Amino acid sequence: MTSHMPPGFTGSSIDRADRLRLDETELSQLAGSYRARLLRLAGHDPVLDETGRLGWDSMADHGAEEMIFLGLDGDTPLFAPLGPVETGRPAWSLFGLLGQMEPKDAALWGAARSLIEWHNRHGFCPRCGSATVPFRAGWGRRCSACGTEHFPRVDPVVIILAEHEGRVLVGRQPQYPPRRYSALAGFIEPGESLEEAVARELAEEAGIAVGNVRYVASQPWPFPGQLMIACLAEAESDAITLDTNELEHAMWVDRAGVEAALRGDAAAPFEPPPPYAIAYTLLTRWLGEDTEPLAPSLSPL
């Protein structure tokens, strides 16, 4: 196999050191160390330093605010601040920034962002309605009344490139930038495998029946906290019945069209998603597949 570019938001390579999250003594020593660093943020967004890398502050500049212990980068303990932040859609300028960040920096910031947003949306216990407080070094919250422990939510999503006779299906949501098309995607529901979710999403959004679902790659998506599971699937026909509640338009694109899109040609049939989105990874892997066939499926569908 040729080596592939890893999906965006992966590769942070720090040690998350789960073993230390409940060790209050060790954690307070790490937080008090001169080596400890606190992630610099503007709202939810990263603040880069003059070299283009993630900005970090020394812990001494900060008071006793709540923190998340992100892990150890070698012998450097890394923390992120926990506190109320405005929620909402990320600014378009953030997406420009992400295109310039080192992948490992984007991954580390993405983990922090997902955790911070989860805390801000979980100040109360869904079981009893009382206030919750952080525990496990920011990797959980505990109810102050009933004691129930809550853990950060990760929502699995399937994102699929359906194939039919040398073409792939891309779709467009109304809020996308002009000319942008991407792979179809949807949340995995309770009681379904990822292969079943793939089949349901393509049937719902495009009226297309698929088989031979093949896993390709995965990435965490920090807006606010999805696990994107990218697959290829074989469509039984190319007749599209669009769900206009979900998609503005969908179309089949051949190899030359996808190549033109990824090259950024002005005459390409669409503008692709940014390289840090796993839909971009899917498109590049599908192109690679033409010269180097994908393995047979291990999936039950």
Query: Measured from the CB of residue 286, what is the shortest distance to a second copy in angstroms?
Result: 11
> Site residues for a second copy, window 278-297 (CB under 8 A)?
285, 294-297
C-alpha distances (whole Å) from 234 to each of 30, 160, 161, 168, 212 are: 51, 10, 9, 9, 6
Q: Which of 36, 160, 184, 194 binds a second copy (CB under 8 A)?
A: 194
- Give the residue with the Cβ less far from a second copy, 125 or 250: 125
> Site residues for a second copy, window 131-160 (CB under 8 A)?
131-132, 139, 150-156
- Distance (Å, rounded) from C-alpha 245 to C-alpha 173? 9
Count of residues in contact with a second copy, rule CB under 8 A:
70
- Give the residue with the Cβ less far from a second copy, 76 or 148: 148
Report the 10 Å Cβ neighbour count for 46. 22
SS (H, E, C) 124-150: ECCCCCCEEEEEHHHCEEEECCCCCEE
Contact predicate 268/260, CB 8 Å: yes
Element (H, E) at 211: strand 210-221
> Site residues for a second copy, window 76-135 (CB under 8 A)?
107-108, 110-112, 114-115, 118, 121-132
Q: Which of 9, 69, 79, 280 binds a second copy (CB under 8 A)?
A: 9
Coil vs helix vs strand at 114? helix
Q: Which of 76, 173, 284, 299 binds a second copy (CB under 8 A)?
A: 299
Burial of 239 from C-beta contacts in 10 A (0-12 / 13-18 / 19+) = exposed
- Distance (Å, rounded) from C-alpha 31 to C-alpha 133? 19
Q: Which of 218, 261, 270, 276 binds a second copy (CB under 8 A)?
A: 218
Q: What residue ranges bind a second copy (CB under 8 A)?
A: 1, 4, 6-7, 9-12, 16, 18-19, 107-108, 110-112, 114-115, 118, 121-132, 139, 150-156, 187-196, 200, 204, 215-220, 222, 225, 227, 229, 243, 285, 294-300
